Amino acid sequence: MVTDRRPLHALTVDVEEWFHILDAGPRPERWEHLPSRIDVGLARIFGLCERFGVHATFFVLGWVARRRPDVVAEIVRRGHEVGSHSFGHRVLRELGPDGFARDLDASLDAIARAGGNVRAYRAPGFSLTTQSSWAFGVLADRGIELDASLFLGPRAHGGWSLDRSGPFAVVLGDGRTVIEIPTVPLRVLGQALPFSGGGYLRLLPTALIDHGFACAERAGQPVCVYVHPRELDPDPPELPLPIARRFKYYVGLDTVAPKLEHLLARHRFGTVSAVAAAATLGAPLELR
């Protein structure tokens, strides 16, 4: 048997609806009155994964799992990993430790009822920051072993300045650990440029994204790619957003599927669990 020695990168999908947009989206009371369009983007993601023989981690919003348990069942049926993306898509700073624990429990319950078994978590908006590092203790209490909530650079709702370029263990005061699979920006002229997901994946030229992958592979570190079903929906309903946010959410939608195809054809991808198992961990982050 020939072993593929290329580095393994993480392919992750935040499974939320077209209207789950932080700050500018409709209020939660309105959500149940809005149509579900998650299938359009998911079908394209499932198709690409099948074509390239890739398994991904789908971080499902608990609210989606409760409304659409069939979505969780389909992710499981296809052999992908199911993670939690919180229940109500609120940033950790707003929730506080108790609110975070309640929101996490609600998401794990909704996903379990739909047939998903969760060992990985991703916070909305990468909002697990130095100010909300208490979240790691709550995750460990619930048996969550992997986290993909850290963005290692400046960011609207999150961001850590840590000198790491790949996975590492977060060590709690009592010695328990959570393995972190961070999203790492590309360093360009001293600036941290996100390149592997969301609006950045849509808007950046493919050559720059390739450069980001080349740098990570030279350093022997995995890239964490993150996409949303709405980004692979060619015709999502548009929310009344300010012009800058409209640009961030709707421009370049038709480039995401070809870019993912480009990346899947050139690199090896897997779930965050597979990446954690394959990675050489960097220096641990001690939270004592």
Can you give the binding site for Zn ion, defined by CB under 5 A?
14, 16, 124
Question: 8 or 71: whose CB is closer to Zn ion?
Answer: 71
Answer whether 263's CB lies under 8 Å from 7's CB: no
Question: 61 or 184: whose CB is closer to Zn ion?
Answer: 61
Question: 42 or 279: whose CB is closer to Zn ion?
Answer: 42
Query: What are the beta bridge partners of residue 224?
Result: 10
- Two tokens, residue 275: 């990446």
- Two tokens, residue 96: 């506080």
CB of 217 to Zn ion, least distance (A): 27
CB of 122 to Zn ion, least distance (A): 8
CB of 4 to Zn ion, least distance (A): 31
- Two tokens, residue 236: 């999502």
Cβ-proximal residues to 15 (8 Å cutoff; 6+ apart), any chain: 38, 42, 58, 59, 60, 61, 64, 71, 75, 85, 229
Query: What are the beta bridge partners of residue 12?
Result: 57, 226
In angstroms, rounded to a whole number, what is the distance separating the alpha carbons of residues 237 and 115?
30
Residue 9 has a CB neighbour count (10 Å cut-off) of 24
CB of 126 to Zn ion, least distance (A): 9
Question: 22 or 140: whose CB is closer to Zn ion?
Answer: 22
In angstroms, rounded to a whole number, what is the distance separating the alpha carbons of residues 213 and 224?
10
Question: 84 or 221: whose CB is closer to Zn ion?
Answer: 84
Burial class (CB in 10 A: 0-12, 13-18, 19+), 136: buried
Question: 14 or 81: whose CB is closer to Zn ion?
Answer: 14
CB of 123 to Zn ion, least distance (A): 9
What region, left, alpha or beta, does residue 256 occupy, with left being phi > 0 and alpha being psi -120 to 50 degrees?
Answer: alpha
CB of 248 to Zn ion, least distance (A): 14
Question: 16 or 180: whose CB is closer to Zn ion?
Answer: 16
CB of 173 to Zn ion, least distance (A): 29
Give the Å distances, CA to CA, from 21 to 7, 28, 222.
32, 11, 27
